[in-house]
Structure 1
Amino acid sequence: MSPEGKTLLNIIILGLGFMVMFTAFGTCGNIEQTVIKSFNSTEFHGSGYTSMAIIYAVFSASNLIAPSVIAVIGPQLSLFFSGLVYSGYIAVFIHPYTSSFYTLSVLLGIAAAVLWTAQGNLLTINSKDSTIGRNSGIFWALMQFSLFFGNLYIFVAWRGKSHITDKDRQTVFITLTVISLVGNFLFFLIQRPDPEPAPTDASESLLPADISDSVSVISYLILTERSIQLAVTKEMLLLSIPFAYSGLELTFYSGVYGTCLGAMTQFGHDAKGLIGLSGILIGVGEILGGGVFGILDKCNRFGRNPVVFLGLVTHIVAFYLIFLNIASDAPVAPEEGTQMQAFIQPSVTVALICSFLLGLGDSCFNTQLISIVGFLFRDDSASAFAVFKFVQSITAAVAFFYSNYLLLHWQLLIMVLMGFLGTITFFVVEWGVISSRRDSDYDSI
Structure 2
Amino acid sequence: MTFDESKFRNINSQPSCNRELQEFQSMAMASTLPAGDEETPLVPDDNSAIEARKSHHSTDIHILSLAFLLVFLAFGAAQNLQSTLNTEDDLGTTTLGILYLSFTFFSVVASLVVRVLGSKNALLIGTTGYVLYVAANLKPNWYTLVPASVYLGFCASIIWVGEGTYLTSAARSHSTDNNLHEGAVIGDFNGEFWAVYALHQFIGNLITFALLSDNQQEGSTKGTTLLFIVFLFIMTFGAILMCFLRKRGANSKGQQELSGADAGACASLKSLSKSLASALSDVKMLLIIPLIAYSGLQQAFVWAEFTKYVVTPAIGISGVGSSMAAYGAFDGIFSLLAGRLTSGLTSITTIVSAGLFAQAVVLVLLLLNFSISSGLLGTVYILFLAGLLGIGDGVLMTQLNALIGILFKHDTEGAFAQLKIWQCATIAIVFFFAPLVSFKAVLVIMLALLCFSFCIFLLLALKVGKTSSPSTSQRI
Question: Shift of residue 165 of structure 1?
Answer: 5.0
Residue range with higher mean Cα deviation, 23-32 or 162-171 = 162-171
Name the residue aligned to 2:186: 132
How far off its partner does 1:19 sit? 0.6
The match for 1:285 among 321, 326, 330 is 330
Q: Among residues 16, 19, 23, which one is paired with 2:73 in the alignment?
A: 23
Distance 1:430 1:301 in 2: 7
The residue that corresponds to 2:397 in the other structure is 366
Unaligned runs of 5+ in 2: 1-50, 173-181
Deviates more, 1:366-375 or 1:218-227: 218-227
Alignment CA distance shift 1:357-1:13 (3 Å) = same
Residue 259 (structure 1) shift: 2.1
Write the distance in 1 (CA, Å) between the matches of 2:471 and 2:390.
Answer: 36
Aligned-pair CA distance for 1:261: 4.1
Structure 2 match to 1:36: 86
Cα contact 1:46–1:98 (8 A) shared by 2:
no
The answer for the alignment partner of 1:154 in structure 2 is: 208
Equivalent of 1:111 in 146, 151, 155: 155
Q: Contact 1:91–1:173 (CA<8 Å) still a contact in 2? A: yes
Cα distance, 1:426 vs. partner?
1.7
Cα distance in 2, alignment partners of residues 159 and 359 from structure 1: 24
With 79-88 and 289-298 compared, the bigger mean Cα shift is at: 289-298
2:108 alignment partner, SS class: coil
Match of 2:245 in 1: 190
Q: Report the counterpart of residue 110 of structure 2 in structure 1.
A: 66
The CA distance in 2 between the partners of 1:324 and 1:92, in whole Å, is 39
Please give the alpha-carbon distance, in whole angstroms, between the structure 2 residues aligned to 1:104 and 1:186: 23
Counterpart code for 2:243: F
Q: Deviations over 1:216-258 (max 9, x none)?
A: 1212430343123212211111111001001100101123212
Distance 1:211 1:343 in 2: 55
Matched length: 406
Rounded to whole Å, the distance in 2 between the matches of 1:98 and 1:437 is 48
TM-score by length of 1: 0.85
8 A contact 2:214–2:221 mirrored in 1: no
Deviations 1:359-387 (A, max 9, x none): 10111112111111111112211111001
Q: Is 1:219 aligned to residue 282 of structure 2?
A: no
Paired residues of 1:323 and 1:408 also in contact (CA < 8 A): no
Contact 1:158 1:273 in 2 (8 A): yes
Map of 2:23 onto structure 1: none
Looking at structure 1, the residues matched to 235 and 470 of structure 2 have their Cα atoms a distance apart, in angstroms, of 47
SS in structure 1 opposite 2:436?
coil
Q: Does 1:84 align with 2:128?
A: yes
Identical positions, percent? 26
Deviations 1:142-177 (A, max 9, x none): 101111111001112235544675762211112222
Cα drift, residue 294 of structure 1: 1.7
Q: Name 1:332's counterpart in structure 2.
A: none
Check whether the contact 1:261–1:272 (CA below 8 A) recurs between aligned residues.
Answer: no
Matches of 2:141 and 2:214 in 1, distance apart? Answer: 28
Q: 1:206 to 1:117 in 2, by over 3 A?
A: farther
Could you say if the C-alpha distance between residues 417 and 262 of structure 1 is closer, same or farther in structure 2, counting changes exceeding 3 Å? closer
Does the 8 Å contact 2:188/2:342 carry over to 1? yes
* Shift in Å, 1:286: 0.8
AA at the equivalent of 1:211: L
Q: Is the 8 A contact 2:198 2:394 kept in 1?
A: no
Q: Is the 8 A contact 1:3 1:193 kept in 2?
A: no
**CA shift for structure 1 position 291:** 1.0
Does the CA contact (< 8 Å) of 1:34 and 1:262 recur in 2?
Answer: no
Distance (Å, rounded) in 1 between the aligned partners of 2:111 and 2:303: 26
- Secondary structure of the residue that 1:236 maps to in structure 2? helix
Residues 329-383 of structure 1 show CA distances to partners (whole Å, capped at 9, x for unaligned) of xxxxxxxxxxxxx766472221110000001011111211111111111221111
Task: Within 5 Å, give how 1:368-383 maps onto structure 2.
Answer: 368-383=399-414
> Which deviations, in whole Å up to 9, do the C-alpha atoms of 1:275-310 show, x marking residues without a partner?
001111111111111111122224x79321111110
Distance in 2 (alpha carbons) for counterparts of 1:438 and 1:259: 41
Bigger shift: residues 130-139 or 45-54: 45-54
Q: CA RMSD in A?
A: 2.5
User: Structure 2 length normalisation: TM-score?
Assistant: 0.80
Partners of 2:296 and 2:426 within 8 A in 1: yes
The correspondence for 2:420, drawn from 349, 371, 389, is: 389
Structure 1 residues 182 and 165, CA gap change in structure 2 (3 angstroms): farther
Kept after mapping to 1: 8 A contact 2:98/2:428: yes
Task: Report whether the alignment pairs 1:316 with 2:366.
Answer: no
Give the SS at the match of 1:134: helix
- Structure 1 pair 165–344 and aligned structure 2 pair: CA distance change class (3 A): closer
Matched, 1:253 2:302: yes
> Which structure would you say has the larger Rg?
2
